Amino acid sequence: MSPSPEMDGDGPVVDGLKHGAWTIFYRSGAVKAKGSFDAGVMTGFWEWWRENGTLMRSGSFEDGAQSGQWTTYDQHGAPYKVTDFK
C-alpha cells in the first residue's frame, strides 16, 4: 500500500496508541523509519533513512530512551560514527 501524503506511518494502533511494528514515511512516500512501539513508546531496534533511500541512523530504544550502540551513516550509507548510550 502506498501512503497518502497525510499518513505519517503504517502500523497497528491499540487503544489509540501505536503498538507493534511501524513504518514511517516521508511525504513523498519514501520510507523514513522502521521500528516498533509498545503502547506508543519506541522500543527495540529502529532504522532511519534519508529520503533518497540511504541509511541514516540505526539503534535501539529501551523504555522510550536510546540505549546501546547507535550508528550514524554518511550520505552514501557507510557507517561513520558510533555512539554508546547507557
At 27-80, the pLDDT tens digits run: 999 999 999 999 999 999 999 999 999 999 999 999 999 999 999 999 999 999
Q: What is the pLDDT of residue 54?
A: 96
Q: Under DSSP, is residue 82 helix (H, G, I), strand (E, B) or coil?
A: strand
- Alpha-carbon distance 77 to 82, whole Å? 13
DSSP 1: -
Distances (CA, A) of 46 to 4, 5, 6, 9, 55: 23, 22, 22, 14, 11
> Model-level pTM?
0.86
Question: Stretch 9-33: mean pLDDT, rounded?
Answer: 94
Residue 67 CB partners (closer than 8 Å, separation 6+): 59, 60, 61, 85, 86
Please give the CATH architecture assigned to the domain spanning 9-85. Single Sheet (2.20)
Q: What is the pLDDT of residue 24?
A: 95
